Structure 1
Amino acid sequence: MERKLPKMITTAVVLTFSFSAFAQITDKRISQKSVSENGQPNLITFSDKSTYKGSESQKIFKEQLGLKDNQIFSKIRTESDKQGYTHEKFQLYEQGIKVEFANYTLHSKEGKVVSMNGEYYNLENVKTTPKLSSQAAFNRAVAHTGAQKYLWESPADAAALGYEKPKGELVLLPAMEEQGQERKSDIVRLAYKFDIYATNPVSRGDLYIDAETGKALFYNATIKHLGEHSHGAKKTSAHKHAEIAAAKSALVAGTAATRYSGTQTIETTLSGSSYILLDGTRGGGVQTYNSARTATYPTTNFSDADNNWTAAEYNNTNKDNGALDAHWGAEMTYDYWSAVHGRNSFDNAGAKIRSYVHYNLIAAGYSSNNNAFWNGSVMTYGDGSGTGGFDILTSLDVAGHEIGHAICTYTANLAYQRESGAMNEAFSDIWAACIENRSAPTKQIWLVGEDIERRSGHVALRSMSNPKAEGQPDTYGGTNWINVNCTPTGNNDYCGVHTNSGVLNHWFYILSVGKTGTNDIGSSYSVTGITIAKAEKIAYRLESLYLGANSTFANARTFGIQSAIELYGAGSAEVIATTNAFYAIGVGAAYSASTDITAPTTPASLAASGTTGTTTNLTWTASTDNVAVTGYNIYQGTTLLGSSTTTSYTVTGLSALTAYTFTVKAKDAAGNLSASSNAVNVTTLANSVSYCTSQGNSTADERIGKVVFGTINNTSTGSAGYENFTSISTNAARGTAYTITITPSWTSTTYSEGYAVFIDYNQDGDFADSGETVWTKATSTTTPVTGTITIPATATLGTTRLRVSMKYNGIPGSCEAFSYGQVEDYSVNITASGAIVTQEIVSDVATAAQVFAFTLYPNPTAGDLNIVPAEPGVYGYRILNTIGQELDSGILSSDNYVDVSNFSAGVYFFELDNGVRKLVKKFVKQ
């Protein structure tokens, strides 16, 4: 039958929460043990059967943490509290070198240790000899910072802030939850730590430089701002006036008409014939200076002739009455910490509190003057921009907030990133509310920055009672939550520290005043408040005694409940409220007198398959629980990726040619987590390839109606000449035969159709290689048509393209555009003929039971490749490329590393041979 001419057709081509797991207890001396992501205890409470004494610290660390002979915990602080507890804080040293952030605290009562908590790392084969000198590392730090000027270049300014040019401290830095890192393996890097204070553009923080490679490993910001900001330049200091010696001054009380808090009594000093804002009655002093709208820290004083600082004199266009707020606010902040918590200034040693008002942030390179910050030494206040921004930022809650950052530095020292950074910001807001509650209770204590707010549509910078009102989340992982699975930078607010702080803010509000409702994850709660007076004691104990640099919201719940128990007793109303307030913000289970603390069993046999350049498929065997397993959390290193209610999960969003490590934990309804499954290492493939186009120009008379292959069973109603069904996939094992069935669909007349099926077995982006035309059928009117496809043993493992073509009156080519018919693309995941846990070659079956394994890191690597066999011995090695060519070989040295710095970037195989068996692992050279 004659066909009509072809028509011209145009085609166009949940966040869940991770909780601290409670370990199974076999030691009768222990009543509870909570473990961190790396499997090490982060909290142990002891039973009455324990006889540990506070003087037995090293014995306790050895027995409970497995402290090694080349490690020691050195005591760095001892303090006591009103409840009769003594708290001794220790710093971990490995071979004499400090392990950064690895602190542990012993809590004793009447000489007996009742609990211990902190961060510990199980370290093996740690290198402690740097390849770089301190000066070379410093040069790398300066180059990485890239500033035009640094504070050490202005000696007068540096001296005023008590800052010296950093010499670099050699430390061991734990992996700071970088993407692709496996915190479980307790990796540490030898690094130089530098306190880098740049003044153009302005920034300050601890920068860690790898002592072997010179790479910048981690930046812990010291400058803490009131909110998100932009960095910029800072100029040199102006001339500094000499400060009048306190010994020649007279301390007196003055009257101040503050800008935001009415008339208040302040302490000043008579200096010559004038009074200055210097209070010598509180600790080492409270002094307020005038930066005079420069980007400097001079010793220029505000002064008054009669010590009656009136509105007529200071409520001027220069906003000088803001300095009175700053001075009074610093005094009230000192008084709060002294009276409520028995703390002598922010360092608990009487440190002088210095505030600088009229600091010109624009001259320092900021986009506006709408900010204030703690720079690690002093308070710094911008004047604000007024309408559309903020008024001068010297209100009481801003002062309390910023000095609160100094409190954190000298207590928990929460790292300024991700969850720890969000809690750092939250505690500053919490203390701001507490200080307002004590010194100015008529203010709106649950709003932050309400006095300075001048933006249209806003009542404050943040709201603790209703965080969503100002764009923050009130639930962990809920609305407005910023995903913390990112690389922290100043541009992303270190993964949302000023946004996610709203969650802990709301916890404190609920704990203080109570609330009933349903949170963003569907949990209904009703919390009876315990008052600020009790809540602030729990919060301070939590921050000052229990949290550490890398603590998470999960840790805050565990330690917050422990703090409430120590203050008010187990089962008390305060403990119940603390637990339920965390439940209200989406962290942990509600309180129950019989709360289940039994964790599920560990998931087993975690394996990855179908890895592409951006995805991999994880499967594992199910866990059991005394009640019921409710799901599984999936982790990349220590980062929570998501959850699954089944025993499989597809990881997406991966980078090509990158090594990843994944683990899984089971969870139950009470929030208990199992220990981590076995770790599975995955290296993604190269970036996805681009396939040629192929299509029928008309499907008006015939098209593909259905395709069945493996688990693909797709009835298609699409009428385009090409249909992309690559989201539909099936597994296909090497060496296995599969039936393919294609059902044509005709509009009316039955036409003779030819068929072809193509699979890109080597995943090179075409179907032109031998054997990739996997099935054809000559023209016929048969329906359906059926054939057999056998996956060759040489097919590359992983996901690739399957193309199905139907053409009128001829067998179609893989890249052909033809007049009538249709082309459909699917995905097929090539798998091994059997389950493969590791890539290994066994040369002697009789020794198959022999334990043989090795660890290979870092992966990816830019230089040295460390190889750590599970058992000592002599090992040969080979390095192969992806087509099996040997590039290097030898005997593994006693240092257990191989230099691959001369290799080109790409994927390689490392083969280790003990003379009986061979084991092969993949690595990526950067």
Structure 2
Amino acid sequence: MKKQLLTLGILGMLLSFTDSVSAQDLVKQRITNANGGVSLVVFNDNSNLNESSVKTIFQDILKLRPTEELRLLKSEKDFTGKFTDAKYQLYQNNIKVEGGIYFMHYQNGKLISMNGEIFQDDKTSSTPVLSSNAAFQQAVKSVGAEKYMWEDAAYIAENTYKKPAGELVYMPVSQGADKYSLVLAYKFDIYAAQPLSRDYIFVDATEGRIIAVDPILKHAQKKQDNDENLPISVAPFAETSKNFPTLVLGTADTRYSGTKTIQTTMVTAVKYTLNDTTRGGGVRTYNLKKGTTLSAGVDFEDNDNNWTAAEFDNAAFDDAALDAHLGVENTYDYFFTTFGRNSYDGLGTLLRSYVHYSNAYENAGWTGSEMVYGDGASTFKPLTAFDVTAHELGHGVCSSSAALIYSRESGAMNEGLSDIWAAAAEFKYAPTKQTWLIGEDITKVSPFYLRSMSNPKSGLSPQPDTYHGINWKPATVEEGCAVPNSNSNDNCGVHYNSGVLNHWFYILSVGKAGTNDIGSIYNVTGITIAKAEKIVYRLETTYLTPSSNYKNARDFGIQAAKDLYGVGSPEAIATQDAFYAVGIGPKYLSIPDTTAPTAPTSLVATNTTGVQTKLTWNASTDTNGIDRYIIYKDGTETATVAGNITTTIIAGLSTNTTYNFYIKAVDPYDNFSVASNTVSITTLNTPAYCVASSSSTADERIKRVQFGTIDNPSTSLAGYEDFSYLTTDVTKESTYPITITPEWTTTIYNEAYVVFVDWNNDGDFLDEGETAFTKVGSKDNPAVGSITVPATYTYTGPVRMRVIMRFSTTPTTACGTIPYGQIEDYTLNVKDKILAASNVNNTSTAIYPNPVKDIINILSKVSGEFSYKIFNTAGQIVNNGTSADKKVNVQKLSVGTYIIELTDKTGNKMTNKFIKK
């Protein structure tokens, strides 16, 4: 029967795509990432696609390669019961691609949309050099803890955490400008006990270096400088009596919420503990007594189940435990009653809280398995208020759903979601509290709250209320945050930039009118917390992927609102307008904007080489701004750049080939301008060079190259950068200094350098003298040396120069992939010594400039008229004539390489190659 059903499914799939109808034809809306990847697709209402169509859709729309596969992780109905969401994991070469997640969304069995992110790289290795154990030792060494949780037998016995074996994965490593390379790595969950930390650590399976760290342990506020130095020892869990445990309701005089009813356990006739087994796998609150050994936690006890202030409002702040217990119970109830979610992971997992963590600890945290709460000191009271407990448990929800990477924008949204759940849970179960303030119960100093969702620019930690607005912290390399670090830059602003999502939720819930930091005037009608929280929950649990950014959240959030409330509904409109209010995307228009932007003007092409050209144009205008420019090559879309950019390099061209380019502007509502003027270029007839790149530039890269007139601040994260459009003249037998400035993100490593020059222009760097400069590994900054242009080769004209910086080891070849460092290409224009001489003798003749745009000047002491012939690279005469003024007009020649033959009045001939630019 199963085989029959499968056959019918395939038949249905074939029927869906016959008669030249592909999945592409059934798309109503498509949104792409900056790197061209498909992030969201919405299908036509009449598409009739279903689960049997998935494999073909993946091939047709996502362009999966033969080595790639999306494997189903789970498929389940959402909290409304109207939708089924299937979650897929990307594999390449049968190895998981970290963060490569795609969702398929169904309503009544019909596929309505798909979204996610995949990372594709065809230069990956699938064979590790290091063993898992060797990589594990590197991961442990990088942490440098005194003790680890896998060494605590008592903790292991009570938890699912075990000593990590390491998982072989492909880890996407940023190469800047939304580009990634996949690095084969081992992934370890390293839970350190002394001092306390927990991170996913990724170790390069070839070189053994740490390439990424994703913190699992998350804090309620920016990590304090002394957090990492907290001691923690290893001891067994304290034994508790197992005599007749009975579940009962107790009365608790909490520290922050007054007298409340809590669920406890009666252990003996005169002993009650904060142990609730009525909610999922349980809610249990432990006393660490200012220690840091989680397994040493003991039960809080009361003899009559009336947990009074007289007993617990003491010097040790024991009443704070009552708030933690109540807060976790209420947060569990919030997720269960609102969304049907059983515990943070939906699996009913036991919720453990550890109160009185350490001495004067001014933070609270989610460790990935449990929650820890400090007693505060000068800034905070005990950190167990309701919004704090809900915030920490919210991290647990995120870790088991979207799993947003805890750095940059994804980390900021991770923090923002926790604040949203804190506000929503508090609104439902503690409505007399200040819903839109975070930490108002625990803050000792003015302004007496940690963060404000209604006014993010206020509070102890002022945040931005507008994307890239006031208080925005650098989140990318381009903005100034090269490597996320919990101590130095808050993992690139996760606790600061979360204010944008916080404020979006506030505006969506209650409404607001005003002008944001980028000048956008908005007026949003709120839809209530009850509706807004449902949009957020669907967004987090069925749309967001680990590396989602704010633009993704906007696109996916609007789609989630449309799912729940309908296209064009007030809720979907408010969702879009609230994002507009915080500076992300355009506002909703009741009358669609159909006015196209003005056309880009004055498109020109410069710096054309054999494989690339530089395009520059004047900006278009539009009432709602320019979202992007689309570049067309020979009538076909070839590239897209953001709307604030008016120049780009088009690479990947073929040599000695003519291309025509034009550009269109697109506004935020997908209105296209008419085309710009068309420019025609012919690439040079240069050799095709071998491919070279670096797997990772995260730790070190080339910051600047100086040679001749080239002075290039090359700050990109790409493993290979083609700067061959940058050129400088060099003369045979002359020596020129070269300066290569490295850039390190944290640790300063030994770097080795080599510069190859293809002096004979034969397309390789293998001939004598073509290894022009080497420098062994050192920490020199900058690296300096010199290059001498040899006289042994007869060729003159443009040649390729390749600059390689590699970690530790001097490269021996100009080709292939290095593990760490960066590779860049430039162009040198080689001239004969006589052509560059300032004193030309009576029989010598030279030409200048070279390259030339319009007029060639003849430099000679021979007077009188010259005749000339100009040949193309095929040997055909393309121009000829005479010159009485020692000038030759080549303005009408196409861009390319030519040979000119000059004959003076005495009959002497001189030939030279020149470049028409």
- Secondary structure of the 1:534 match is helix
- Structure possessing the higher relative contact order (Cα contacts under 8 Å, 6 or more residues apart): 1
Query: 1:696 aligns to what?
Result: none
Instruction: Give the CA deviation at 1:667.
Output: 6.7
Query: 1:138 aligns to what?
Result: 136
User: Which shifted more, 344-353 or 74-83?
Assistant: 74-83
Alignment map for 1:398-797 (pairs within 5 Å): 398-455=388-445, 457-470=446-459, 471-485=462-476, 486=481, 487-491=483-487, 492-595=489-592, 620-621=616-617, 630=626, 644=644, 647=647, 669-670=667-668, 796-797=709-710
Aligned amino acid, residue 63 of structure 1: D
Query: 2:88 aligns to what?
Result: 90
Query: 2:356 aligns to what?
Result: 358
- TM value normalised by structure 1: 0.67
Aligned amino acid, residue 400 of structure 1: A
**Following the alignment from structure 2 to structure 1, what is the Cα–Cα distance between the partners of residues 388 and 664?**
43
Question: What RMSD, in angstroms, separates the aligned Cα atoms of the two structures?
Answer: 4.2
Is the 1:282–1:334 contact (alpha carbons within 8 Å) kept by the matching residues of 2? yes
Alignment map for 1:8-87 (pairs within 5 Å): 27-81=24-78, 82-87=80-85
Instruction: Give the CA deviation at 1:350.
Output: 0.5
Structure 1's 223 and 588: CA in aligned 2 closer, same or farther, altered over 3 A?
same
Query: 1:380 aligns to what?
Result: 372
Matching of residue 211 in structure 1 with residue 205 in structure 2: yes
Query: 1:293 aligns to what?
Result: 290
Structure 1's 904 and 299: CA in aligned 2 closer, same or farther, altered over 3 A?
closer
Instruction: Give the CA deviation at 1:836.
Output: 6.4
Query: 2:183 aligns to what?
Result: 189
Is the 1:468–1:480 contact (alpha carbons within 8 Å) kept by the matching residues of 2? yes
Structure 1's 687 and 353: CA in aligned 2 closer, same or farther, altered over 3 A?
same
- Secondary structure of the 2:368 match is coil
Is the 1:465–1:506 contact (alpha carbons within 8 Å) kept by the matching residues of 2? yes
Instruction: Give the CA deviation at 1:625.
Output: 8.9
Aligned amino acid, residue 533 of structure 2: E
**Following the alignment from structure 1 to structure 2, what is the Cα–Cα distance between the partners of residues 443 and 182?**
44
Instruction: Give the CA deviation at 1:213.
Output: 1.1
Query: 1:313 aligns to what?
Result: 311
Structure 1's 646 and 65: CA in aligned 2 closer, same or farther, altered over 3 A?
closer
Structure 1's 107 and 903: CA in aligned 2 closer, same or farther, altered over 3 A?
closer
Query: 2:100 aligns to what?
Result: 102
Instruction: Could you tell me which runs of 5 or more consecutive residues in structure 1 were left unpaired when the two chains were aligned.
Output: 1-24, 363-367, 610-616, 635-639, 650-663, 689-761, 763-794, 801-834, 842-859, 868-873, 887-896, 913-918
**Following the alignment from structure 1 to structure 2, what is the Cα–Cα distance between the partners of residues 628 and 447?**
34
Query: 2:14 aligns to what?
Result: none
Aligned amino acid, residue 474 of structure 1: D
The counterpart of 2:327, out of the listed 326, 329, 335, is 329
Aligned amino acid, residue 469 of structure 2: G
**Following the alignment from structure 2 to structure 1, what is the Cα–Cα distance between the partners of residues 752 and 347?**
46
Is the 2:750–2:807 contact (alpha carbons within 8 Å) kept by the matching residues of 1? no
Aligned amino acid, residue 461 of structure 1: L
Query: 2:256 aligns to what?
Result: 260
Aligned amino acid, residue 511 of structure 2: G
User: Which shifted more, 88-97 or 75-84?
Assistant: 75-84
Aligned amino acid, residue 462 of structure 1: R
Is the 2:704–2:711 contact (alpha carbons within 8 Å) kept by the matching residues of 1? no
Is the 2:136–2:188 contact (alpha carbons within 8 Å) kept by the matching residues of 1? yes
Is the 2:705–2:712 contact (alpha carbons within 8 Å) kept by the matching residues of 1? no
Instruction: Give the CA deviation at 1:453.
Output: 0.8
**Following the alignment from structure 1 to structure 2, what is the Cα–Cα distance between the partners of residues 115 and 450?**
41
Instruction: Give the CA deviation at 1:877.
Output: 5.0
* 1:891-916 Cα distance to aligned partner (Å, 9 max, x none): xxxxxx9999798769x99489xxxx
Instruction: Give the CA deviation at 1:605.
Output: 8.2
**Following the alignment from structure 1 to structure 2, what is the Cα–Cα distance between the partners of residues 224 and 482?**
18
- Secondary structure of the 1:139 match is helix
- Secondary structure of the 1:76 match is strand
* 1:404-454 Cα distance to aligned partner (Å, 9 max, x none): 000000111000001000000000000000111010101001000101110
Aligned amino acid, residue 281 of structure 1: T
**Following the alignment from structure 2 to structure 1, what is the Cα–Cα distance between the partners of residues 346 and 24?**
37
- Secondary structure of the 2:25 match is coil
Query: 2:272 aligns to what?
Result: 275
**Following the alignment from structure 2 to structure 1, what is the Cα–Cα distance between the partners of residues 45 and 151?**
59
Instruction: Give the CA deviation at 1:618.
Output: 8.0
The counterpart of 1:242, out of the listed 239, 243, 253, is 239
**Following the alignment from structure 2 to structure 1, what is the Cα–Cα distance between the partners of residues 570 and 604?**
44
Query: 1:921 aligns to what?
Result: 825
* 1:49-68 Cα distance to aligned partner (Å, 9 max, x none): 42321233222212221122
Structure 1's 898 and 447: CA in aligned 2 closer, same or farther, altered over 3 A?
closer
Identity %: 43
**Following the alignment from structure 2 to structure 1, what is the Cα–Cα distance between the partners of residues 232 and 529?**
43
- Secondary structure of the 2:498 match is helix
- Secondary structure of the 1:500 match is coil
Structure 1's 123 and 622: CA in aligned 2 closer, same or farther, altered over 3 A?
farther
Instruction: Give the CA deviation at 1:648.
Output: 8.3
Aligned amino acid, residue 458 of structure 2: A
Instruction: Give the CA deviation at 1:885.
Output: 7.5
Is the 2:361–2:374 contact (alpha carbons within 8 Å) kept by the matching residues of 1? yes
User: Which shifted more, 155-164 or 537-546?
Assistant: 155-164
Is the 2:524–2:578 contact (alpha carbons within 8 Å) kept by the matching residues of 1? yes
- Secondary structure of the 1:416 match is coil
Alignment map for 1:886-905 (pairs within 5 Å): none
Alignment map for 1:810-849 (pairs within 5 Å): 837=725
* 1:669-700 Cα distance to aligned partner (Å, 9 max, x none): 5276999xx9x999967588xxxxxxxxxxxx
Structure 1's 624 and 169: CA in aligned 2 closer, same or farther, altered over 3 A?
same
* 1:331-350 Cα distance to aligned partner (Å, 9 max, x none): 00000000111111100010
Structure 1's 118 and 608: CA in aligned 2 closer, same or farther, altered over 3 A?
farther
- Secondary structure of the 1:376 match is coil
Residues matched between the structures, number: 679
Structure 1's 880 and 437: CA in aligned 2 closer, same or farther, altered over 3 A?
same
Instruction: Give the CA deviation at 1:304.
Output: 1.1
Is the 2:324–2:353 contact (alpha carbons within 8 Å) kept by the matching residues of 1? yes
* 1:611-648 Cα distance to aligned partner (Å, 9 max, x none): xxxxxx986345779989748799xxxxx999857548
Query: 1:748 aligns to what?
Result: none
Aligned amino acid, residue 548 of structure 1: T
**Following the alignment from structure 1 to structure 2, what is the Cα–Cα distance between the partners of residues 665 and 276?**
71
Query: 1:890 aligns to what?
Result: none
* 1:121-162 Cα distance to aligned partner (Å, 9 max, x none): 233132100011111111211222233332223332344443
Instruction: Give the CA deviation at 1:70.
Output: 2.2
Is the 1:199–1:233 contact (alpha carbons within 8 Å) kept by the matching residues of 2? no
Aligned amino acid, residue 371 of structure 1: N
**Following the alignment from structure 1 to structure 2, what is the Cα–Cα distance between the partners of residues 489 and 666?**
40
Structure 1's 272 and 670: CA in aligned 2 closer, same or farther, altered over 3 A?
same
Is the 1:147–1:199 contact (alpha carbons within 8 Å) kept by the matching residues of 2? yes
Is the 1:839–1:920 contact (alpha carbons within 8 Å) kept by the matching residues of 2? no
* 1:721-773 Cα distance to aligned partner (Å, 9 max, x none): xxxxxxxxxxxxxxxxxxxxxxxxxxxxxxxxxxxxxxxxx6xxxxxxxxxxx
Instruction: Could you tell me which runs of 5 or more consecutive residues in structure 2 were left unpaired when the two chains were aligned.
Output: 1-21, 631-639, 650-661, 674-682, 684-691, 714-722, 730-748, 757-762, 774-786, 791-801, 817-822, 828-917
Query: 1:747 aligns to what?
Result: none
Aligned amino acid, residue 532 of structure 1: I
Is the 2:67–2:92 contact (alpha carbons within 8 Å) kept by the matching residues of 1? yes
Aligned amino acid, residue 363 of structure 2: N
**Following the alignment from structure 1 to structure 2, what is the Cα–Cα distance between the partners of residues 42 and 161?**
37
Is the 1:359–1:382 contact (alpha carbons within 8 Å) kept by the matching residues of 2? yes
Aligned amino acid, residue 330 of structure 1: V
* 1:174-211 Cα distance to aligned partner (Å, 9 max, x none): 12x3xx54543x41000000111223332111010111
Matching of residue 393 in structure 1 with residue 391 in structure 2: no
